[in-house]
């Protein structure tokens, strides 16, 4: 089966479930129960979104979400947001290191949390000079979408560990 690339208004999506869509192409072909997933989940948040069938086979690839009409873009982004549910850190209250364990007390978009990181080198990843991915000792994941949007105190607490 040929790989289908989706750009602009090539396809129309209908959200079927929290992370499932149906797709109808402009030529009339229909595909049901597709699962949008990022091919590059850490670096490609808006580019190269694969649409997988129930068996995990790739049906189509969206090259760039930004080229889709607003309605279609919102549907796919909604599915991706639910699938890749990662709390976003909005403020850091406290940051302590003791015996190699880094403990962060933070505010997230899902409430306050205490994050314990055993290995700082693997638990804190700086991407693109402003996005930070955090993985705690229980393999829970958090993100700071933009370091520059943190308040001055939060930034000062975190800077020495990045």
SS3 state of residue 155:
helix
Q: Domain count of the chain? A: 2
Of the residues 83, 116, 131, which one is the last residue of a structural domain? 83
Are residues 76 and 32 part of one domain?
yes
Of the residues 51, 66, 83, which one is the last residue of a structural domain? 83
Are residues 72 and 13 part of one domain?
yes
Q: Which domain covers residue 58, as residue numbers?
A: 4-83
What pLDDT, on a 0 to 100 scale, did the predictor assign at position 1?
60
Are residues 74 and 17 part of one domain?
yes
Of the residues 61, 83, 105, which one is the last residue of a structural domain? 83
What is the torsion angle, in degrees rounded to the nearest 10, for the CA atoms of residue 111, residue 114, residue 120 and residue 121? -30
In angstroms, the CA 77 to CA 142 distance is: 18
What pLDDT, on a 0 to 100 scale, did the predictor assign at position 65?
95
Are residues 28 and 79 part of one domain?
yes
Give me the count of residues in the chain.
162
Are residues 50 and 76 part of one domain?
yes
pLDDT tens digit sequence for 28-59: 999 999 999 999 887 778 999 999 999 999 99
What pLDDT, on a 0 to 100 scale, did the predictor assign at position 86?
87
Q: Considering only CA atoms, which of 4, 58, 12 is closest in space to residue 34?
A: 58
In angstroms, the CA 31 to CA 23 distance is: 5
In angstroms, the CA 46 to CA 91 distance is: 25
């Amino acid at each position: 089966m040929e790989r289908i690339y989706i750009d602009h208004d090539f396809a129309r999506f209908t959200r079927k479930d929290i992370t499932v869509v149906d797709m109808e192409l402009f030529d009339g072909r229909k595909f049901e129960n597709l699962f949008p997933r990022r091919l590059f989940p850490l670096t490609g948040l808006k580019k190269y979104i694969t649409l997988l069938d129930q068996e995990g086979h790739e049906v189509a690839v969206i090259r760039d979400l930004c080229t889709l009409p607003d309605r279609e873009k919102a549907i796919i982004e909604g599915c991706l947001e639910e699938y890749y549910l990662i709390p976003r850190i909005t403020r850091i209250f406290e940051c302590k290191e003791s015996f190699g364990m880094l403990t962060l007390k933070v505010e997230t978009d899902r409430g306050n949390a205490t994050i314990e990181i055993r290995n700082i080198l693997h638990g804190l990843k700086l991407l693109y000079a402003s996005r930070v991915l955090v993985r705690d000792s229980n393999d829970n994941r958090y993100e700071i979408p933009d370091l520059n949007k943190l308040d001055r105190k939060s930034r000062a607490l975190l800077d020495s560990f990045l």
